[in-house]
Amino acid sequence: MPDLLSILRKSADYLGGKGIDSPRVEAELLVAHALDLDRIALYLQFDKPLTDESLGPIREVLKRRVRGEPVQYITGKAGFYEIELAVGSGVLIPRPETERLVDRALALYEGGPVLDLCTGSGAVILSLWHARQEDGPFVAVDLSPEALVWAEKNRASLEADVELLEGDLFAPVAGRTFTLITTNPPYVTADEYSRLPTHIREWEPALALESGPDGMNLLTRIAAEGKAYLEPDGWLLSEIGSGQGSIAKSAFEAQGWRDVSVEQDYTGRDRVLLAKHGA
């Protein structure tokens, strides 16, 4: 019988031959998932022989991956900031660059009500709650009922005191104000969306990605509507596309926001817009 290490090597070679990036890492994640092991346990069992019964689930997850299904959907989980999130069909997979949004939000947050728009899996709001759960309250909104299914799973898993609401941007929180608003809205332009890799376009929800000809459909609305939901001297932070720094900054300044700035992610690309209530 083949041992685990040889199967890992063959799996990585197979994925690499199919054009998968980081084939060794993905092979470890997929094989560990198929065998119901964490990666540490995987490393400790390299010489373990695998039966045909064990090989079947491994073959199945590898086939799913080469068909384009994201690793996170196959394993049902994605690491983000200091938490692990359940993800799957109908919700955007959280990206590492969004952790910069959380970093900046935590640096500015001084307590009080927090609102997260376009929450998706709940990555941002649950990370904020996890770091500052003695504060709050914490509220999250998303238009997609499919995405909120995953946000609820993650809220329940963490036993987080976070209110989840379904609706269009600020509509579910009419009459309420917050000291901090965060959002990772769709900001991909229609042209960019048409050129995204197949594994993104065919698997992740377009609703969470594409936002009109310049990618600014939702950001423009947030700039126009947001101050009514923010307490004086409160901050709004939004993730933006790497080419949107100038246009996003102008959109918020035109609506009377102050201290508007754009900060970079860990790769040096424009990523987070910061704006303060203009009152």
Cα separation of 90 and 206, whole Å? Answer: 9
CA–chain centroid gap for 103, Å, is 14
Same-domain status, 126 and 241: yes
Query: Are residues 240 and 145 both part of a single domain?
Result: yes
Same domain, 109 and 207: yes
Instruction: Give the domain-ending residue among 32, 47, 67.
Output: 67
The answer to whether residue 72 is domain-embedded is: no
Do residue 105 and residue 191 come from a single domain?
yes
H or E element: which one contains 156? Answer: helix 145-158
Q: How many CB atoms lie within 10 A of CB 138?
A: 24
Q: How far is residue 94's CA from residue 117's CA, in Å, rounded to a whole number? A: 14
Structural contact between residues 112 and 230, judged by C-beta atoms closer than 8 angstroms: no
Looking at 24, 46, 67, which one is the last position of a domain?
A: 67
The domain containing residue 113 runs over which residues? 77-276
Domain assignment present for 102: yes
**Overall number of domains in the chain:** 2
Q: Which two tokens stand for residue 44?
A: 């400790």
pLDDT tens for the chain, 279 residues: list them.
Answer: 788 889 999 999 999 998 888 999 999 999 999 999 887 888 888 888 888 888 999 999 999 999 999 999 999 999 999 999 999 999 999 999 999 999 999 999 999 999 999 999 999 999 999 999 999 899 999 999 999 999 999 999 999 999 999 999 999 999 999 999 999 999 999 999 999 888 889 999 999 999 999 999 999 999 999 999 999 999 999 999 988 999 999 999 999 999 999 999 888 899 999 999 866
Residue 185 DSSP code? -
Do 127 and 253 belong to one domain?
A: yes
One domain, residues 121 and 254? yes
Instruction: Name every residue whose Cβ is closer than 8 Å to that of residue 13 and which is 6 or more positions away in sequence.
Output: 23
Is 218 exposed, middle or buried, given 0-12, 13-18 or 19+ CB atoms closer than 10 A? buried
Judge whether 139 lies within some domain: yes
Q: Are residues 128 and 222 in the same domain?
A: yes
Q: Which of 46, 22, 45, 29 is nearest to 84 (CA)?
A: 29
Task: Clarify whether residues 249 and 117 are in a common domain.
Answer: yes
> 225 with 92, same domain?
yes
Domain membership flag for residue 22: yes
pTM: 0.92
Residues 117 and 197 in one domain: yes
Give me the residues paired with residue 142 across strands.
166
- ∠ CA(43), CA(12), CA(63), 5° rounding? 110
67, 99, 114 - which closes a domain = 67
Strand partners, 239: 272
